[in-house]
Amino acid sequence: MSGQLKEVRSRIKSVTSTQQITKAMKMVSAAKLRRAQDAIIQMRPYSKKLQEMLSNIVSSVSSDVSMPLADVRAPERILMIPITSDRGLCGGYNANVIKLTREAILTNYSEQQKKGNVTILPIGKKGYEYFLRYGYKVNSDYWTIFSDLSFDNVRNAAVYAQNAFLNKEYDRVELVYSQFRNAATQVFIVEPYLPIPRVEQVKGGKNVDFIFEPSMAELLMELMPKILNTQVYKAVLDANASEHGARMTAMDKASENANEMLKSLKISYNRARQAAITTELTEIVSGAAALQG
């Protein structure tokens, strides 16, 4: 009986220590989430308007204007950019990004994958380790971005994708990441990156008539890369906020589960202690009765 009490006490101590860790991690994630949330909320309207403007321009200009980054080609060579985190303990966040990337490849680019024409450019350690382990063709140059998250580091990855598209190393580039909604909600999406998607013209509607100053070609050459860099940076900020939200939620749930486990263990401990005391009393009474007899 004493062995059982010792085991239950050990488990209570272990669960209590784990609960302290999960509570601390929740507080750290909550603090990081506030900063990450502020960053993406400030960035999102700016990025959205730039993307809309770029897509509208690409859709409205005449076909004789050269726009290499909007050049639609047969999708023979594909670059997928999944954005995961560097660390775990954030529920199903990383698994969902990886799963969506695999599903997108299987659904849309299975033939290209069989030919070895699908390349993964992971951002985040978890995605990098997974795709490398399971034999995917991986570009290892930019997976460490979250170790020093800045616009310049993200821009390097975006510029690589743009140059590779221009050089026809890839015919299509797609981003896979989680859009941040709130701490408990993330929306996992596959977003076309290159070629720049065109906006469908509404039937019977009029084309937007833009006035360009300086010339259209000069403006597009200057604006396109900057807007595309901003698009990737927005996706990384979305992913960063989603990671901290997912981790905060996961640690909160883990703390609740630890609390429920502690209640159950304390009941078990009290029952075992009560049984031990009852056994000792029975032995004392039996011994006293034997002496009187």
Asked whether residue 42 is domain-assigned, the answer is yes
**Number of folded domains in the chain?**
1
Each residue's pLDDT, cut to its tens digit, for the chain (293 residues) gives 566 778 888 888 899 999 999 999 999 999 999 999 999 999 988 888 888 877 777 776 666 667 788 888 999 999 999 999 999 999 899 999 999 999 999 999 999 999 999 999 999 999 999 999 999 999 999 999 999 999 999 999 999 999 999 999 999 999 999 999 888 888 999 999 999 887 654 444 455 566 777 777 777 777 888 899 999 999 999 999 999 999 999 999 999 898 898 988 888 888 877 877 787 778 777 777 777 75
- Tell me if 126 is assigned to some domain: yes
Give the C-alpha separation, 225 to 98, whole Å. Answer: 27
* Domain coverage including residue 120: 20-251
Residues contacting residue 114 through CB under 8 Å, at least 6 positions apart: none
**Which DSSP category does 198 fall into?**
P
Look at residue 111 and tell me if it is in a domain. yes
Whether 142 and 217 have beta carbons less than 8 Å apart is answered as no
Can you tell me the distance from the alpha carbon of 105 to that of 136, in angstroms, rounded to the nearest whole number?
A: 11
Residue 222 lies in a domain: yes
Cis ω before 195 (30° cut-off from 0): yes
* 90 carries an active-site annotation: yes
Could you tell me the CATH number of the domain that includes residue 105?
3.40.1380.10
Determine which one of 33, 83, 90, 220 is catalytic: 90
